[in-house]
Amino acid sequence: MVNPECIAPLREELQAALPTGQCTTPDVMNQCPKLESFMREILRLHGTILYGSSRLVIKPVHIPSLGRTFPPGSILTLPWYWMSRDQDLYPNPDEFDSHRFYDESSGGCTARVTTSSDKFLGFGYGTSTCPGRFMASRVVQTVFTKILLDFDVTCMPGGQELPFNIFSSAFFMTNTEIEARIRPRAGKM
């Protein structure tokens, strides 16, 4: 909807991986690296939180790189939002690039949407990594695949100018002011 140029390549990839009448399965999704890259980029750029993996300091903690000691009672957290927009980690970090994690030369995805790292905190990191990330990402991919293949979704006039997310407390939420038109694709209903 916000990036209509992504629709045709994703539909082509899905149609090639998904023979007519076949259900979406993990094997089918594994054949869709462009979709995987697209989903990871959405999570990077449009995540739901500002901070992640918060910890309460129970004894003084010194962090040499900051030159600072944090006393008990302090809360330390990872700056998820700002890391996902760090130009040292991601070229043109404020731009949506559906192929950011897609490798043209190998035809594969450089990192899956569920891959956790110290530079990508979409599902947390280390012992705080979300154990449900595999199921959550498959559910979203399956629903997205159904919508993408069977429907045309467009923004109503003025919708492209509205912010995609709205900040509330420490969370981002989808802007409910954006109106969309959803129509069955020809021959799909």
Q: Is 6 annotated to bind ligand?
A: no
pTM of the entire structure? 0.83
**Which pLDDT score, from 0 to 100, does residue 164 have?**
65
Judge whether 137 and 114 are in contact, CB under 8 Å.
Answer: yes
Mean pLDDT, to the nearest integer, of 70-78? 93
The 10 Å Cβ neighbour count of residue 126 is 9
Mean pLDDT, to the nearest integer, of 39-63? 88
DSSP 8-state symbol, 50: S
Comparing 83 with 162, which gets the higher pLDDT? 83
| Helices marked H in 46-177 | 80-83, 133-150
Give the tens place of pLDDT for each residue, 148-183. 999 998 877 776 665 666 666 666 777 777 788 899
**Which pLDDT score, from 0 to 100, does residue 104 have?**
92
pLDDT band at 139; cut points 50, 70, 90: very high
> Inter-axis angle of helices 7-17 and 33-45, to 10 degrees?
140
Cα–chain-centroid distance for residue 133? 12
Mean pLDDT, to the nearest integer, of 5-19? 90
